[in-house]
């Protein structure tokens, strides 16, 4: 069966896994530039579903079953996340690249100088106009626009343009700065440890063996499902990521650090590290459909409320009223103030908020009766 269509999971006997982990530990000791690549499988132990497993999001969708995507991300990083932190702290792990958007690696305390996310982060929003990224303590909310500008509810502190989700969806271009940095890290590897991914999505799938021209390069893949890359692996382990990393840390005689919860969005030193090393996209309008600032491309006196991409428009309520929310700046929104007015009065309210000289964009709800 085509590995891409086979969602079956395989578990090797413990003694076989232990034997393979011993070999892996030996290779790690001999390596000079170990790089790890992680996918959704490293987070399933925390209760976050994967995509292509038996109960994965895409697997269920193919069966006509819709999974609630409002996952609980307020969970501790897994043993695998913390093991990678430990290996990085000891200088054993030289770099880490992840396709995950759940933000668990950053929460675990991984250093950003040699870390790259290639599909974005649920806690990060960015400005397409100037490129500045913002890390938030909670998942970023997304505006419900009809187009795919993927706006959030805030504006950039620097240039005042709308901020956008960084999660990369199918059909969108890859973050150019992020993927360039990821390949730069991957090409230096002489040992590539792939954890919890079937490596089906390009260009991320090509990262794992980007260092194959280096002397004594080794590719190790840990995943419960078969993949299209199994044949080119130097070592293939069918086991959970946590099982392998637990055995590996013991074999390397390394302790697994304890997870310490921390709100990094309020840590000035960490934010300096984030602003220095976190790479996403260059500024420009090529990020998504729509202009850099959709609100400046539309005349508010000519465009109906449900066609304005800078306004969050929800369907009519049973009482027949429209609800809309104006974009807020990147600071936490103020108390929501409900304003009742006639439809014709709405545009003047929006126009006055857009033209505020101090760039204070209140987050209030407009009720149109």
Beta bridge partners of 341: 368
Greatest alpha-carbon span in the chain: 74
Q: Are 28 and 186 in contact (CB under 8 A)?
A: no
**Within 13 Å of residue 9, how many CA atoms lie on the same side as its CB?**
16
Residue with tokens 């590539």: 192
3-state helix, strand, coil in the chain (%, to 5): 30, 15, 55
Q: Are 188 and 95 in contact (CB under 8 A)?
A: yes
Per DSSP, 139 falls in state P
Strand ranges of the sheet holding 338-341, from the earlier edge strand across to the other edge: 311-314, 322-326, 365-368, 338-341
Q: Phi and psi for 90 in degrees, rounded to 5?
A: -90, 0
Per DSSP, 55 falls in state T
Per DSSP, 201 falls in state S
Beta-carbon contacts of residue 299 (< 8 Å; ≥ 6 apart): none
In the residue annotation, 81 being an active-site residue is answered as: no
Q: Which is catalytic among the residues 11, 81, 119, 234? A: 119
Strand ranges of the sheet holding 115-117, from the earlier edge strand across to the other edge: 115-117, 93-98, 34-38, 191-195, 218-222, 235-237
Q: Are 275 and 267 in contact (CB under 8 A)?
A: no
Tokens of 292: 């850099």
Residue with tokens 């840390």: 249
Among all residues, which ones are annotated catalytic?
119
């Amino acid at each position: 069966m085509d590995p891409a269509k086979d969602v079956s999971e395989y578990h090797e006997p413990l003694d076989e896994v232990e034997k393979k982990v011993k070999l892996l530990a030996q290779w790690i000791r001999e390596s000079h530039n170990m790089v790890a690549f992680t996918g959704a499988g490293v987070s399933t132990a925390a209760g976050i579903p994967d995509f292509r497993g038996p109960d994965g999001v895409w697997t269920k969708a193919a069966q006509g079953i819709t999974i609630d995507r409002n996952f609980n991300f307020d969970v501790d990083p897994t043993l695998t996340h913390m093991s990678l932190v430990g290996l990085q702290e000891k200088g054993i792990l030289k770099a880490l690249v992840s396709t995950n958007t759940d933000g668990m690696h950053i929460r675990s305390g991984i250093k950003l100088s040699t870390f790259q996310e290639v599909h974005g982060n649920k806690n990060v929003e960015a400005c397409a106009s100037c490129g500045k990224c913002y890390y938030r303590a909670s998942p970023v909310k997304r505006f419900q626009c009809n187009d795919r500008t993927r706006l959030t509810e805030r504006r950039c502190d620097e240039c005042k343009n709308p901020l956008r989700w960084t999660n990369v969806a199918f059909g969108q271009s890859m973050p150019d700065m992020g993927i360039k940095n990821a390949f730069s890290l991957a090409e230096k590897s002489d040992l590539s440890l792939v954890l919890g991914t079937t490596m089906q999505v390009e260009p991320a799938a090509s990262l794992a063996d980007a260092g194959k021209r280096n002397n004594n390069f080794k590719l190790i893949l840990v995943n419960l499902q078969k993949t299209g890359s199994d044949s080119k692996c130097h070592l293939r382990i069918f086991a959970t990521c946590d099982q392998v990393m637990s055995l590996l840390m013991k074999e390397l005689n390394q302790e697994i650090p304890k997870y310490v919860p921390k709100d990094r969005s309020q840590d000035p030193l960490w934010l300096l590290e984030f602003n220095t090393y976190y790479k996403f996209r260059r500024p420009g309008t090529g990020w998504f459909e729509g202009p850099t600032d959709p609100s400046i491309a539309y005349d508010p006196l000519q465009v109906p409320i449900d066609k304005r991409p800078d306004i969050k428009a929800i369907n009519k309520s049973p009482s027949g009223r429209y609800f809309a929310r104006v974009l807020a700046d990147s600071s936490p929104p103020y108390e929501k103030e409900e304003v009742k007015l006639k439809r014709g009065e709405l545009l003047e309210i929006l126009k006055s908020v857009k033209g505020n000289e101090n760039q204070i964009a209140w987050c209030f709800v407009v009720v149109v009766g």
